[in-house]
Amino acid sequence: MAKYANHVSAVAADCGVDRRSVTNYFDILIDLLIAHRIPVFSKKAKRELLNSDKFYFFDCGVFRALRPRGPLDSDSELNGAALETLVLQNLMAINDYRELEFEISHWHTRKHVEVDFVLYGPRGLFAIEVKSGDRVPSQDFNGLIEFGKDYPMAKLMLLYGGDRHYRHEKIEVIPILDWLRSLTKRLS
């Protein structure tokens, strides 16, 4: 997972080719269903948003295999992005299989406050943040809290690697395994 525009620029610079060529190659990956581009959620936006799509490979294992690793890369950083990809895979699968008609996007303000996934459709508005750790520090709620201020009707969820289900203000904090098991019920 990466911010699409940043990723395109970095690849173009690394390869010494123009940005347009790299964009075309990324578009081919998307057309072949090897990758997905997730747009920014901007419906009735009350804040200035970044207009930068996110790029995900179709499978979290592909991400892990292709992601360069070095001594400065932490396991939590790698696991977090892979877990985010796993959540996206499940959201896309249930959305298509159950014909839920959600638009899947993400939310990112100019002040770099973000939410990993926003689902918008006839069944409601959901904001989902994904964290791989087994504890949730208070700053991990910031994106959902800010999103909730702009969209008070949204159902806010933070998925994490722990095992305790609880609420933090309006945010439902859910162990990732429990969420995956109950995904169909939660979004229907």
The residue to which tokens 């806010």 are assigned? 156
* pTM confidence score: 0.82
Q: Which domains does the chain have, with CATH numbers?
A: 2-187 (3.40.1350)
List pLDDT tens digits, range 90-145: 999 898 888 888 999 999 988 889 999 999 999 999 999 999 999 999 999 999 99
Q: How many CA atoms lie within 13 A of 169 on its CB side?
A: 12
Q: Which of 176, 185, 29, 182 is nearest to 116 (CA)?
A: 176
Cα–Cα distance, 86 to 9 (Å, whole number): 25
What confidence category does residue 63 fall into, taking pLDDT thresholds of 50, 70 and 90? Answer: low
Exposure of 152 by Cβ count < 10 A (0-12 exposed, 13-18 middle, 19+ buried)?
A: exposed
Average pLDDT over residues 9-24: 78
